Amino acid sequence: MSVLPFDDRDGTIWFDGKLVPWRDARLHVLTHGLHYASCVFEGERAYEGQIFKMTEHNERLVKSAEILGFEIPYSVAEIDAACLQTLQAMKLKDAYVRPVAWRGSEMMGVAAQHNKIHLAIAVWEWPSYFSPELLEKGIRLCWSKWKRPSPETAPTNSKAAGLYMICTLSKHEAERTGYADALMLDYRGQVAECTGANVFLVIDGEIHTPTPDCFLDGITRRTAMELARRRGIKVVERAIWPDDLKKASEIFITGTAAEVTPVGEIGDLKFTVGAITRQMRTDYAAEVRKPARRQSAAE
């Protein structure tokens, strides 16, 4: 499949306060964020010209930067406005929105207290993360050999670039062996998440999901839980062990890119795309298109 490289596209990117031509949005090879992972980001999605839970995402962006010890030189309101400005400039209605902030290149070394903090926002078209065929029968997951670290060893409540290194390794290995994604355990051996999505189990008509104490409490995750409770479905947050998967009749994952995606297989375990998963997919698709729930580039 031919894919346009991300550094050679038409359009504009918001970069440090202004829109610049897409191909000119560049940084130096000795940027601290590249060498030492002093970088945070968000993944947001626009539906029909409006960005779902944009402010909530951008509040998390600012908080993630604070956790990594730096301050983004723009307010949440300014970041919101920049996201909408970029979406409008790209003339897209259904799109992916990527704000990213990082330490620059003034100092090179572990310490970089005086480096300039940069912020950029890119917007591009992004269709469904998985094909319609996979969504109908459920994706196949393998087990990752990498584990989510303890909060005592990494800033696990931030959406920091460095935390995704093991996700890339896990996803690549999954795809090499014919799977769509990998399911990760945490440092205790409990079920954590996939490489970029939270996981839910349907057990006896209830929805069970791991407690996010060493990985991100996803915004899509929280939305799914809210939607389930509106339906009167009990949602249980708890420690989930690999053996608990054998009790589940359905499993689905959630994320900005994945939305609500059913799982058909994890290792040698098989699951059906059942009524609760289908209802969650339908409800989420309706929720992201509610005008009151989105924020518009026309505002």
Mean pLDDT of the chain: 94
- Predicted confidence band of residue 1 (pLDDT cuts 50, 70, 90): very low
How many whole angstroms separate alpha carbon 157 and alpha carbon 212?
9
Q: Phi then psi for 171, rounded to 5 degrees?
A: -65, -45
Specify the CATH class of 132-287 in words: alpha beta
Segment 200-233, tens digit of pLDDT: 999 999 999 999 999 999 999 999 999 999 999 9
Higher-confidence residue of 295 and 37: namely: 37
Segment 91-130, tens digit of pLDDT: 999 999 999 999 999 999 999 999 999 999 999 998 776 6
Q: What is the model's pLDDT at position 295?
A: 53
What ranges in 231-291 are assigned the alpha helix state H?
Answer: 275-287
How many whole angstroms separate alpha carbon 170 and alpha carbon 20?
34
- Predicted confidence band of residue 298 (pLDDT cuts 50, 70, 90): very low
Domain extent listing, the chain: 12-124, 132-287
Cα maximum dimension of the chain: 56
Average pLDDT over residues 48-75: 97
How many whole angstroms separate alpha carbon 200 and alpha carbon 261?
10
Cβ(212)–Cβ(221) below 8 Å: yes
Segment 4-42, tens digit of pLDDT: 899 999 999 999 999 999 999 999 999 999 999 999 999
- Predicted confidence band of residue 296 (pLDDT cuts 50, 70, 90): low
Average pLDDT over residues 174-202: 97
Higher-confidence residue of 292 and 115: namely: 115
Q: What is the model's pLDDT at position 297?
A: 52
- Say whether 159 is catalytic: yes
Q: What is the model's pLDDT at position 162?
A: 97
Higher-confidence residue of 202 and 296: namely: 202
- Residue closest to 37 by CA, chosen among 90, 86, 102, 126: 102
Average the pLDDT over each of 42-51, 70-79, 81-90, 288-297 and give the range with the smallest value.
288-297
Segment 270-287, tens digit of pLDDT: 999 999 999 999 999 999
Q: Phi then psi for 115, rounded to 5 degrees?
A: -70, 145
CA distances from 290 to 68, 139, 223 (A): 34, 27, 13
CA distances from 269 to 69, 105, 177, 223, 248 (A): 42, 48, 16, 27, 10
Task: Check pLDDT > 50 for residue 163.
Answer: yes
Helix pair angle (54-67, 76-90), 10° resolution = 120
Q: How many CA atoms lie within 13 A of 136 on its CB side?
A: 3
Q: What is the model's pLDDT at position 165?
A: 97
Q: Determine the topology of domain 12-124 in CATH.
A: D-amino Acid Aminotransferase; Chain A, domain 1 (3.30.470)
How many whole angstroms separate alpha carbon 297 and alpha carbon 255?
22
Higher-confidence residue of 290 and 196: namely: 196
Catalytic residue among 159, 171, 247, 270: 159
